[in-house]
Chain A
Amino acid sequence: MDLHELVNSPGQWLCGDGPESGIVISTRIRLARNIAGYPFLKRMTGDQRVDLQARVRKAVDESAALKSIACLNLETASHMDRQFLVERHLISRELAAGEGSRAVVFSRSEAESIMVNEEDHLRMQVLRSGLQLLPAWQQASLLDDQLEPRLDFAYSSRLGFLTACPTNVGTGLRASVMMHLPALVITRQIEKVFQAIGRMRLAVRGLYGEGTQASGDFYQISNQVTLGKTEDEILETLTLTIPRIIDYERKARETLARESEVFLEDRIWRALGILRHARQISSEETMALLSAVRMGVNVGRIRGLDVATVNHLFIGSQPGHLQIRHGRELSQADRDAARADFIRQTLQAAPLN
């Protein structure tokens, strides 16, 4: 498929219309499943991988579990295309960097995707805008129900769904909520929040999952325990914790607005100023500045710019997106210039001031 069709708008989950969109970017549910009768990925032969991929594809087609699907063979996809898919959260960094036969199948809305031959045979994913743990889980469970009779998942009555890594066994469920927490970072309360999260047996990770740095003040909060609890119980830990973090962030924003108004306004407007006028800008600086602008929109300081546009700037200014838009690989210097152009043009179209 041609990824150019996707580049000019972010996926549905980034449209910024979900509940709590000011602070929660998105909710993601991931289910890990393996097919009985095959070894896990690291012990599979090349033929087994090709065979398994065909079986999954057939099951997806027959079940009509996904609407208007796109399928991409990642073994033959270019580095640029793979990077683009990582940036859109359609595939993991591990799948992008992997070797051998592997693929992704996703719905055109990009709300559902299935990675094939990642660490587990199947990684089903549902993405939703804002805080939507339950709807996202229901959709993922439905997808699971539709594929399971056709694929015979590896399962034990004692340990549940069997996965390549013992950290996923049981439900195979990872529920992650991506949050934007700039005020907690500025007021240096974020570590305190992380400690509280850790006590709830929840994990905190960066923007692109396992082992990635938190950039642009984005944090993914997810469950750590997958075995011994029902899916509802796992989700409950998050449905109880996330609103409290939202509340902390909101209070921190209010405190900043009340006690450090000039500081806050300077930070927001300076960020917007640079983004509107820069001629070359790095990815790191962009993330930091967009974070300030996003907060500025959410606290009502910047008018004429909506969350959807800011989200579009976040994703559209990533290296893979810039290169897909230009139709070729770009050097770092070219990327920095292309990024500044993209941001300037997008902001010019917004009715600011």
Chain B
Amino acid sequence: MQCERCKNNVATVHLTEIVKSQKTEKHLCEQCAKEEGYTIKTHVSLQDLLTAFISAHDDAEEMAGVKCPDCGMTYVDFRSEGRLGCPNDYEVFREALDPLLEKIHGKVEHSGKLPSRAGESQRKQRDLMALRRQLRDAVDKEDYEAAARLRDEIKTMENIDGSA
């Protein structure tokens, strides 16, 4: 589609205006849109992001036929709906989902809050992981005082673990 203002560039900005319940549409190129004073949204929604990630990850072809025995969802269903069918899907589609999760979040390892039933040992594991991450950050920042303190904390916690 051609820009209706300069009749030269390709129209990439499509606007719908409703004035007194009269709908008008405008198709402009980016330059003309700017000149007419329309600000163009450069941020994308999380949903756009997810859709882009899912479609960019086409190498998961072998996943296409995989079906969750619990909820009956296939990976193809997920790709078109953008939502999973049940908690078990995270394991069933793991091979395809993990790279997706890494793109979205940068990491594929929970380090936040645990439910109370997760148990003491798991909680300790989580705390240790957090301390080790802080230690790495402290070393990166050359904050050796903090690093020494964290190292001792980790040692103490590991010892408690060992004796238990």
Q: Does A54 contact B (CB under 8 A)?
A: no
Which residues 184-230 of A have a CB within 8 angstroms of B?
A: 190-191, 194-195, 197-198, 201, 203-205, 210-211, 224-230
* Interchain CA distance A159-B46 in the complex, whole Å: 19
Does A255 count as interface, using CB distance less than 8 angstroms? Answer: no
Chain B residues with Cβ below 8 Å from A148 are: 115-116
A172, closest chain B residue (CB):
B112
Given the known interface contacts A169-B90, A191-B42, the answer about A159 and B130 at a Cβ–Cβ threshold of 8 Å is no
Asked if A341 lies at the interface with its beta carbon under 8 angstroms from chain B, I say no
A173 contacts the other chain (Cβ, under 8 Å)?
A: yes
Residues of A within 8 A of B90 (CB): 156, 159, 162, 169
Contact A167 B83 (CB under 8 A): no
A328 contacts B by Cβ under 8 Å:
no
Q: How far is the CA of A204 from the CA of B109 in the complex (A)?
A: 25
Do A166 and B112 contact each other (CB < 8 Å), given the known contacts A191-B39, A204-B43, A205-B45? no
Interchain CB contact (< 8 A) of B83 among A165, A204, A231? A165
Q: B43 touching A228 by the CB < 8 A rule?
A: no
**Residues of B with C-beta under 8 A to A159:** 90, 101, 108, 110
- A141: Cβ under 8 A from any B Cβ: yes
Enumerate chain B residues within 8 angstroms of A34, measured Cβ to Cβ: 87
A171 to B39, CA, bound (A): 34
Indicate whether A144 reaches chain B with its CB closer than 8 angstroms: yes
Interface size for A (C-beta < 8 A) is: 55
> B43 and A194: CB pair below 8 A?
yes
Residues of B in contact (CB 8 Å), total 42
CB of B112 within 8 A of CB of A231, answer yes
Q: Does B128 contact A (CB under 8 A)?
A: no
B44 to chain A, nearest CB (A): 8
Chain B nearest CB from A192 CB (Å) reads 10
B81 proximity list for chain A (CB < 8 A): 42
Interface presence of B82 (CB below 8 A):
yes
A residues in contact with B116, CB < 8 Å: 145, 148-149
Q: Does B106 contact A (CB under 8 A)?
A: yes
CA–CA, A151 to B111, complex, Å? Answer: 21
Q: Are A40 and B83 in contact (CB under 8 A)?
A: yes
Chain B contacts for A119, CB-based, 8 A? 83
Inside 8 A of B47's CB, which chain A residues have their CB?
167, 210-211
Contact of B111 among A198, A205, A228 (CB under 8 A): A228
Q: Across the two chains, which residue of chain B brings its CB closest to A34?
A: B87
**CB-CB < 8 A to B113: which residues of A?**
141, 144, 160-161, 171, 230-231
- Cβ-defined contact, A164 with B112, below 8 A: no
Distance in angstroms between the alpha carbons of A234 and B39 in the assembled complex: 30
Chain B contacts for A40, CB-based, 8 A: 71, 83-87
Return the chain A residue nearest B130 by Cβ. A230
Instruction: Please report the C-alpha to C-alpha distance between residue A165 and residue B146 in the assembled complex, in whole angstroms.
Output: 38
**Contacting residues, chain A, for B73 (C-beta < 8 A):** 43
Which residue from B50, B71, B110, B117 sits with its C-beta under 8 Å from A160? B110
Cα–Cα, bound, A230→B87 (Å): 21
A153 within 8 A of B: yes
Cβ distance B48 to chain A, nearest Cβ, rounded Å:
9
Contact B108 A227 (CB under 8 A): yes
Which residues of chain A come closer than 8 Å to B141, judged between CB atoms?
none
Q: With A and B bound together, what is the CA distance between A141 and B115 in angstroms?
A: 11
Contact of A210 among B45, B106, B114, B130 (CB under 8 A): B45
Report if B105 contacts A (CB, 8 A): yes
CB within 8 Å of B: which residues of A? 34, 36, 38-43, 119, 141, 144-145, 148-149, 152-162, 164-167, 169-171, 173, 190-191, 194-195, 197-198, 201, 203-205, 210-211, 224-231, 234, 332
Q: A39-B85, A149-B117, A228-B107 are in contact. List 13 more A-B contacts (CB 8 A).
A: A39-B71, A40-B86, A42-B83, A42-B85, A155-B118, A158-B108, A162-B87, A204-B43, A225-B104, A227-B101, A228-B105, A230-B112, A231-B113
Q: Could you pull out 6 A-B pairs where Cβ atoms are within 8 angstroms?
A: A152-B117, A157-B110, A160-B113, A194-B43, A211-B47, A234-B112
